Structure 1
Amino acid sequence: MRIAAVQHDIVWEDREATLRHLDDRVAGAVAGGARLVAFTEMFATGFSMNTHTTAEAPDGPTVTWMVDQAARHDVWVAGSLAMRLPERELPVNALCVVSPGGEVHRYDKIHPFSYAGEHERFGAGDRFVTVDVEGVRLTPFVCYDLRFADEFWACAATTDAYLVVANWPAPRRHHWRALLDARAIENQAYVVGVNRVGEGGGLSYTGDSRIVDPLGEVLVSGAGGETVLFADLDPHVVAKVRDQLPFLPDRRTG
């Protein structure tokens, strides 16, 4: 299954302008053979704490755009947004994976980024989600989740590829790259890291998106500007690596 990681800029808190900017990115990714097109964390608004402005309903404009793009191009689409749920006091940072038929799979970020005050504006998720995307078992995570290896470990046995969408700022770019590589090596799975570029909320972002294979080799990477990264994710490669190097059964969780 070919994935396209879209490393893109975001018009700060301007959903309509950003989505217009991204329209052509989906078409370009599909032209490159992608079956899953992945955008960044809060890909339409930027990583904003102004949830009174940015948060929307599950059937709001961003998810509606994703469903429309998925149907129009017969492709899977993924990205996160600030989502307001009727049963929750605070919005969640929801990573949605949308099928070509319009089915929306949602993972709510388990670890709000307290250093930036995210925990004061967003509620925490409480469950993992794994989606079968054309034979690839895909487990999504969001940005700060990447620092918590135990969450990735918990899903390893049923995961071929992890998708990590982010707004990870430039000053800690080395952490981003090192942790993506580590999660791939530890879990013998593909890791797809999709990060934004540009300026937003007083922070600078350099992208550094990358796709890492189950042995920790970087298949493709990009930094500095807008780009689309492509890679083929093969569950048979994951199975072969785990069979030849059976490290996971030695893991102790107690």
Structure 2
Amino acid sequence: MMQHLKIALLQAAIVWQNAVKNRKQFSNKINAINEDVDLIVLPEMFTTGFSMQPQEIAETMQGETVKWMQQLASEKQAAIVGTIIISENNKYYNRFLFVHPSGEINSYDKRHLFTLAGEDKIYTSGNDKLIVNYKGWKICPLICYDLRFPVWARNVEDYDIILYVANWPKPRIEAWDSLLKARAIENMSYSIGVNRVGIDANKLEYCGHSAVYDCLGGKLATVKLNKEEIIITTLDKKHITEVRNKLNFLNDKDSFEIL
């Protein structure tokens, strides 16, 4: 088990519905990371932007972006994560891919589809929560709108990190900041959020504010508003162990069943 986990957060603009250009720009950004990291985090729908036109741009699990992620993960010897639009069994999914350096893939389909944009009319919701075991760390990946639903995020699996990738618009960025911090505190875990910047084809503006919080809600790192940037931060397992042993708040959590 690794005591420390070094994570790179890539806050970037996304070229609208152009996977080739987006893979190229993210390749350049990833290859510019000049230190060894364990995990590289890209935003939600990083090859397309938050598109409601999957019939034109969806890929498969055998497609170019999945192969690209596997190749880069192998070259960098780091896990690479983010969501892309996947077509499978005549359905479309906003799918989180956790690609290990070995090429192994864990996936999670977004449960809470964004009804305000009609995402629920076009994409199929996932029903299974995912906990990834990576280098001795338990990671719970979730996607954008999932952040508003604490029951789904509740730490009943004793995970160490809750990880959100997003296209979260600027007018509601205060909610993003507050909820990321809240998820860290209530789950006594590290909370990480990676959001995009720029303006998409629907004239929606995104300002980033990607951040990392420790399990007491202390901010470890944040990216400035409206700025493309890579930030690298190191998480310490000792922090989680000491805080949980001292406070034991998770032992007092309510029991429930999600139907």
What is the deviation of 1:234?
2.3
For 1:140, give the aligned amino acid: P
Is the 1:42–1:81 contact (alpha carbons within 8 Å) kept by the matching residues of 2?
yes
Q: TM-score, normalised by structure 1?
A: 0.95
Q: 5+ residue gaps in structure 1?
A: none
Q: 1:96 corresponds to which residue?
A: 97
CA distance in 1, matches of 2:113, 2:19: 22
* Alpha-carbon displacement from aligned partner over 1:201-238 (angstroms, at most 9, x marks no partner): 32000001001111100101012110112111222321
Q: List aligned pairs for 1:64-143, cutoff 5 A.
A: 64-86=67-89, 89-143=90-144
SS at the partner of 1:229? strand
Q: 1:194 corresponds to which residue?
A: 194
What is the deviation of 1:17?
0.6
Q: 2:54 corresponds to which residue?
A: 51
Q: List aligned pairs for 1:12-51, cutoff 5 A.
A: 12-29=16-33, 31-51=34-54
SS at the partner of 1:84? strand
For 2:35, give the aligned amino acid: G
CA distance in 2, matches of 1:165, 1:227: 15
CA distance in 2, matches of 1:224, 1:17: 20
What is the deviation of 1:157?
3.6
CA distance in 1, matches of 2:108, 2:183: 19
Q: 5+ residue gaps in structure 2?
A: none
Further displaced range: 137-146 or 242-251: 242-251
Q: TM-score, normalised by structure 2?
A: 0.94
Q: CA RMSD in A?
A: 1.1
Count how many residue pairs are aligned between Structure 1 and Structure 2. Answer: 250
Q: 1:182 corresponds to which residue?
A: 182
CA distance in 2, matches of 1:128, 1:236: 26
CA distance in 1, matches of 2:132, 2:93: 19
What is the deviation of 1:54?
2.0
For 1:162, give the aligned amino acid: I
Q: 1:171 corresponds to which residue?
A: 171
Is the 1:82–1:94 contact (alpha carbons within 8 Å) kept by the matching residues of 2?
yes
What is the deviation of 1:158?
2.4
Aligned residues: percent identity? 36
CA distance in 1, matches of 2:177, 2:87: 31
